[in-house]
């Protein structure tokens, strides 16, 4: 069927085409189904919306994604046909029924996800299948492989990378570790994510100090200059299937282990990492809640690393409470600068963890002999070599630490939370603290967040300050205070 | 946040709102997430698309669904806030994890489906949960109850209804059964579906002869006049959650038993049925493939009927091959008229099945004594009382059987399939035949389809006609012939 293009200037996030009710009926196509749109030689798959009144029977309205890809202009003719149901849908059904998928099947599923040939609902069936039935190690490896193959790569050699499984509020070790390790000559082009459900991702924190959105070419130049970078990985197209799957997982807050493993490894392999350290914090309110789970995850990472022939170590860390004092982009930036500049009020828990992870990286890459990593890391941090390296990275990313101080003020509206009794802090809940920080405006409001004055085990007297909530508006502050009072993230006994 | 409305005149099938990239970031809302849109006192939930370039930061573009519901005009201000994640999502996760859901939980899920508060992907997680873990009988009953409660009802008393599980090509018994039974005074306001994956639904066939789209008030008037109707149920809003769930199931071709049971019963209870006959055809290429499955389904229907206090019978029938000769709207209409008018070439298998099911209905409603239903049904059919009733129903629905003959011509392009050898027909595949008919143009092209000259067990000689394919265009005919030759729906031995 040949139809006339009509532009609606709609960015739907995926290719959407709108057909007249009668045209859809003639084609036997229903809303949400797929059609092929062809313009001379080039074609693409689009999801159908159905309308009447806003277009004629011989017209098709297309979203900007289609307009740009097929280089269409208003009024030009395109050929429309029903797109055959992607074969990958039957593979997804097999997974839902508990069968093990082959490399070829996973390859096709990932390909169709990347090419927009699968809808979010179809991806949800795939996620359900993985969530309910799990994946064998081979399947997980093949899923990882497929994800890398359908994305871009960073061609820098001998890359060292680290990753934290997450779920621990304030845990901003990455910039410190990268500064320590790359100052020994290690290459650490670190790509990070923005916050999804937390108060801040490493990319959000770095954005307080410098630019974080770069092309792969720009990243290569920054790394040539400084050995490292601390940028946002989201727009680089590294394993893009993963981003789409995560978007669908988020809807129902599941994160099946096999997908988590594939997701992390695919991103590391896409930046060509040869040495990788995986930090697995565990604790009641962290992402991984028990030691058993953490050990199982660690074992699987090791097995997959063997398959992909990369040098990978895992480290199990304490995820039972937030790390550092600040939670929120500006507050976390202040924390990490305090550690790097040896400020007397620096958060020692954050420093200790950053040193521990740096030590492992220095030893696994041969920069320090076994048992000597920690003293080397300490020397680099204490001599401010790490701080100089950090300043250099920030400068290469268009920032300037010497002029940044004014930007590091927490938001003007604040509320101080005091202890109502003489007591002891027995628990600080990561998830609840993160939610309060989000209600206060994080991550979009950079200077919003929570500053913690206490950690687990601290003894407090009546009227001692427990924490301060910062917010850019009075409304958000009230909103956050209410949630704090209701959800009680800091438990005293 | 207060934004200015911009109309895009987009019918997305669900409420969609488009925000500027920066506005979405300020709200911490991502594409596919939900926001509340409020206009003075009224509010509704919408899914967010994100754009930049086509709107300003202080604008929101809304789809026609929102525009109409909130009675908005271009430029007027609305209040926007992040919609809390529906609680029902956590219930869906519980189902995915294998837990049994309560009435309150199912009620909330169904409510959110009907109100568009759940996306297709979230509904897909629900379907996955039911598909993988099944549902207890209590859960199925509560799902049914929730579906009825969130829809309209037909307030006619003492309704008699029938339903076929489906999957048998050409199986157009309903108009014959309704004509026979309603001529004894039984009230049969029959609502049917259009084809989803088959060549024709009862509504598609009836549409060849009369109108099928009516309001509930119009239906009541037709039933007052004739005791019966044969209409399309799709737009009546009876158990609308079911329609949305089926749309999501179709994506991956699953139809979990619990959802099938709830779907059928909810529609019957919504039309106030007191007596219900369920036809369960089983056979290799039917929807229900084994007798064991058919018996299990039958048992569950009985148990649910007891719960809802309705009089329900099931009958297991032969679903191993198509029934009747014609497959496609016009061809099936010809078949059923041939039976009603006692044409000498009428399809006897269709007649026999219609009589058998009519007999059960006549006995279960007390219109015939036990064992006398079949002879009564035969008498009504042979005396042409059933035909007169059918003509009356058609007339009440705006058709006229005396003037209809010209419309009952099969399509002009045709292709005759002959046997290549002396042989015997050992199998005719329902699914494959339906697919060939769809390739030929069904159900949108009413006069397209397949006419079968043979059934299972027929002996054929070389060059005997097996079937004829009809199509409105040469292209579709070729398309269908190719599929026929490739898929071999008629198996000779």
Residues 6+ apart with CB under 8 A from A45: A15, A34, A35, A36, A37, A83, A115, A116, A117
Reported as half-sphere exposure (CB side, CA atoms, 13 A), residue B32 has a value of 18
Reported as half-sphere exposure (CB side, CA atoms, 13 A), residue A404 has a value of 19
- H-helix segments, A193-311: 202-206, 216-226, 240-252, 257-270, 291-308
Name which of B434, B19, B421, B486 is nearest B198 in CA terms.
B434
The residue among A53, A116, A125 with the most chain B CBs within 10 A of its CB, best to mutate, is: A125
Reported as half-sphere exposure (CB side, CA atoms, 13 A), residue A378 has a value of 8
Q: Do A32 and B247 touch (CB under 8 A)?
A: yes
Q: Rounded to whole angstroms, what are the CA distances from B191 to B33, B209, B321?
A: 36, 16, 25
Q: pLDDT value at position A267?
A: 94
Segment A18-29 shows an average pLDDT of 83
Minimum-distance CB partner of A12 among B26, B49, B120? B49
Q: Angle formed by the axes of helices A257-270 and A291-308, to 10°? A: 40
Minimum-distance CB partner of B254 among A49, A93, A247? A93
Name which of B151, B173, B148, B88 is nearest B122 in CA terms.
B88
Interface size A-B, in CB pairs within 8 Å, comes to 138
Q: Which of B255, B318, B464, B478 is flagged as catalytic?
A: B255
Reported as half-sphere exposure (CB side, CA atoms, 13 A), residue A449 has a value of 29
Minimum-distance CB partner of B96 among A10, A30, A132? A132
> What letter does residue A193 receive in the DSSP assignment?
P
Distance, in Å, from the CA atom of B402 to the CA atom of B394, rounded to the nearest integer, reads: 10
Mean pLDDT computed over every residue of chain A: 92
Distance, in Å, from the CA atom of B286 to the CA atom of B281, rounded to the nearest integer, reads: 7
**Chain B contacts of A54, Cβ < 8 Å?**
9-11, 64
Judge whether residue A273 has pLDDT over 70: yes
Q: pLDDT value at position B179?
A: 98
Residues 6+ apart with CB under 8 A from B221: none
The listed CATH number (3.65.10.10, 3.40.50.2030, 3.30.70.270, 1.20.970.10) that belongs to domain A88-134: 1.20.970.10
**SS3 sequence of A1-16:** CEEEEEECCCCCCCCE
Please report, rounded to a whole number, the percentage of residues in chain A having pLDDT higher than 70. 98
Give the pair of three-digit tokens for residue A315: 């480290």
Minimum-distance CB partner of A89 among B12, B252, B438? B252
User: Under CATH, which number does the domain B159-403 receive?
Assistant: 3.40.1030.10
Judge whether residue B430 has pLDDT over 90: yes
The model's pLDDT over B214-260, given as tens digits with 9 standing for 90+, comes to: 999 999 999 999 999 999 998 788 888 988 898 889 888 888 999 99
Task: Provide the whole-model pTM.
Answer: 0.87
Highest mean pLDDT among A73-82, B4-13, B106-115: B106-115
CB A248 within 8 A of CB B33: no
Whether the link from the prior residue into B443 is cis, omega within 30° of 0, is: yes
Task: Return the SS3 of A45.
Answer: strand
The minimum CA-CA distance between A420 and chain B, rounded to whole Å, is 31
Q: pLDDT value at position A253?
A: 84
CB B386 within 8 A of CB B340: yes
Q: Which of residues 105-144 of B touch A (CB under 8 A)?
A: 119-125, 127-129, 131-133
Segment B76-83 shows an average pLDDT of 89
Name which of B23, B59, B417, B397 is nearest B210 in CA terms.
B397
What is the phi-psi region of residue B389: left when phi exceeds 0, alpha when psi lies from -120 to 50, beta otherwise?
alpha
The minimum CA-CA distance between B312 and chain A, rounded to whole Å, is 32
* B31 lies within 8 A of chain A by CB: yes
Q: pLDDT value at position B53?
A: 65
Judge whether residue B350 has pLDDT over 80: yes
pLDDT-derived band at A10 (thresholds 50, 70, 90) equals low
Q: pLDDT value at position B239?
A: 87
The model's pLDDT over B275-316, given as tens digits with 9 standing for 90+, comes to: 999 999 999 999 999 999 999 999 999 999 999 999 999 999
CB B193 within 8 A of CB B231: no
Q: pLDDT value at position A68?
A: 82
Whether A255 is catalytic: yes
Residues present in chain B in total: 493
The model's pLDDT over A38-56, given as tens digits with 9 standing for 90+, comes to: 988 788 888 887 776 668 8
What chain A residue is nearest to B34 in terms of C-alpha separation? A251
**Chain A contacts of B26, Cβ < 8 Å?**
444
Q: pLDDT value at position B71?
A: 87
Classified by CATH at the fold level, domain B2-82 comes out as Barwin-like endoglucanases (2.40.40)
Name which of B425, B492, B430 is nearest B457 in CA terms.
B425
Q: pLDDT value at position A194?
A: 85
Distance, in Å, from the CA atom of B260 to the CA atom of B307, rounded to the nearest integer, reads: 17
Q: Which of residues 67-106 of A touch B (CB under 8 A)?
A: 89, 92-93, 96
Distance, in Å, from the CA atom of A48 to the CA atom of A33, rounded to the nearest integer, reads: 6
Mean pLDDT computed over every residue of chain B: 92
Name which of B367, B122, B423 is nearest B244 in CA terms.
B122
Distance, in Å, from the CA atom of A335 to the CA atom of A355, rounded to the nearest integer, reads: 15
Q: pLDDT value at position B481?
A: 95
Minimum-distance CB partner of B120 among A10, A32, A131? A32
Q: Which of residues 246-265 of B touch A (CB under 8 A)?
A: 247-248, 251-254
Residues 6+ apart with CB under 8 A from B93: A252, A253, A254, B125
Name which of B180, B225, B172, B273 is nearest B397 in CA terms.
B225
Which residue shows structure tokens 């989000």? A438
Give the pair of three-digit tokens for residue B248: 């999501």
Q: Where are the domains of chain A?
A: 2-82, 88-134, 159-236+257-403, 410-492
Residues 6+ apart with CB under 8 A from A90: none
Q: pLDDT value at position B9?
A: 65
What chain A residue is nearest to B127 in terms of C-alpha separation? A125
Distance, in Å, from the CA atom of B308 to the CA atom of B366, rounded to the nearest integer, reads: 21
Judge whether residue B104 has pLDDT over 80: yes
The model's pLDDT over B175-185, given as tens digits with 9 standing for 90+, comes to: 999 999 999 99
CB B159 within 8 A of CB B274: yes
Classified by CATH at the fold level, domain A159-236+257-403 comes out as Pyrimidine Nucleoside Phosphorylase; Chain A, domain 2 (3.40.1030)
The minimum CA-CA distance between B251 and chain A, rounded to whole Å, is 7
Distance, in Å, from the CA atom of B35 to the CA atom of B14, rounded to the nearest integer, reads: 13
Q: pLDDT value at position B72?
A: 86
Q: Centre a 10 Å sphere on the Cβ of residue A65 and count the other Cβ atoms it contains.
A: 19
Task: Return the SS3 of B313.
Answer: strand
Segment B192-202 shows an average pLDDT of 87
Name which of A199, A451, A430, A193 is nearest A318 in CA terms.
A430
Q: Do B124 and A129 touch (CB under 8 A)?
A: no
Classified by CATH at the fold level, domain B410-492 comes out as Aldehyde Oxidoreductase; domain 3 (3.90.1170)
């Amino acid at each position: 069927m040949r139809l006339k293009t009509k532009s609606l200037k709609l960015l739907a996030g995926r290719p959407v085409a709108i057909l007249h009710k009668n045209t859809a009926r003639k084609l036997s196509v229903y809303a949400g189904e797929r059609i092929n749109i062809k313009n001379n030689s080039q074609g693409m798959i689009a999801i159908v919306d159905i309308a009447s009144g806003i277009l004629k029977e011989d017209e098709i309205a297309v979203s900007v994604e289609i307009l740009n890809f097929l280089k269409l202009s208003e009024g030009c003719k395109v050929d429309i046909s029903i797109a055959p149901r992607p074969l990958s849908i039957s593979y997804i059904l097999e997974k839902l029924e508990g069968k093990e998928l082959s490399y070829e099947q996973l390859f096709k599923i990932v390909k169709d996800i990347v090419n927009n040939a699968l809808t979010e609902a179809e991806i949800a069936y795939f996620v359900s299948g993985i969530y309910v039935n799990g994946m064998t190690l081979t399947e997980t490896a093949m899923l990882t492989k497929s994800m890398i193959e359908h994305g871009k790569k960073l061609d820098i050699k001998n890359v060292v990378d680290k990753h934290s499984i997450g779920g621990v509020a304030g845990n901003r070790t990455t910039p410190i570790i990268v500064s320590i390790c790359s100052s020994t000559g290690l290459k650490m082009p670190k790509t990070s994510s923005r916050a999804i459900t937390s108060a801040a991702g490493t990319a959000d924190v770095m954005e307080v100090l410098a630019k974080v959105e770069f092309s792969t070419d720009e990243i290569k130049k920054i790394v040539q200059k400084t050995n490292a970078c601390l940028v946002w990985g989201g727009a680089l197209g590294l394993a893009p299937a993963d981003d789409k799957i995560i978007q669908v997982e988020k809807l129902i807050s599941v994160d099946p282990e096999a997908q988590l493993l594939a997701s992390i490894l695919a991103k590391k392999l896409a930046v060509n990492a040869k040495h990788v350290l995986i930090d697995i914090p565990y604790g009641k309110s962290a992402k991984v809640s028990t030691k058993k789970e953490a050990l199982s995850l660690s074992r699987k990472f090791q097995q997959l690393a063997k398959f992909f022939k990369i040098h990978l170590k895992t480290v199990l860390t304490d995820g039972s409470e937030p790390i550092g004092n600040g939670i929120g982009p500006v507050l976390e930036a202040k924390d990490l600068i305090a550690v790097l500049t040896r400020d007397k009020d620096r958060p020692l828990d954050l420093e200790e963890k950053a040193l521990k992870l740096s030590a492992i990286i220095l030893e696994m890459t041969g920069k320090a002999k076994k048992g000597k990593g920690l003293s080397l890391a300490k020397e680099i941090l204490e001599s401010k070599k790490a701080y100089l390296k950090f300043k250099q990275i920030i400068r290469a990313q268009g920032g300037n630490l010497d002029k940044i101080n004014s930007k590091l003020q927490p938001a003007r509206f604040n509320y101080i939370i005091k202890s109502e009794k003489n007591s002891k802090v027995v628990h600080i809940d990561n998830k609840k603290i993160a939610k309060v920080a989000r209600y206060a405006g994080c991550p979009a409001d950079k200077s919003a967040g929570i500053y913690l004055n206490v950690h687990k085990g601290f003894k407090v007297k009546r009227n001692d300050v427990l924490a301060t909530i910062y917010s850019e508006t009075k409304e958000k502050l009230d909103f956050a205070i209410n949630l704090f009072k209701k959800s009680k993230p800091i438990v005293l006994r």
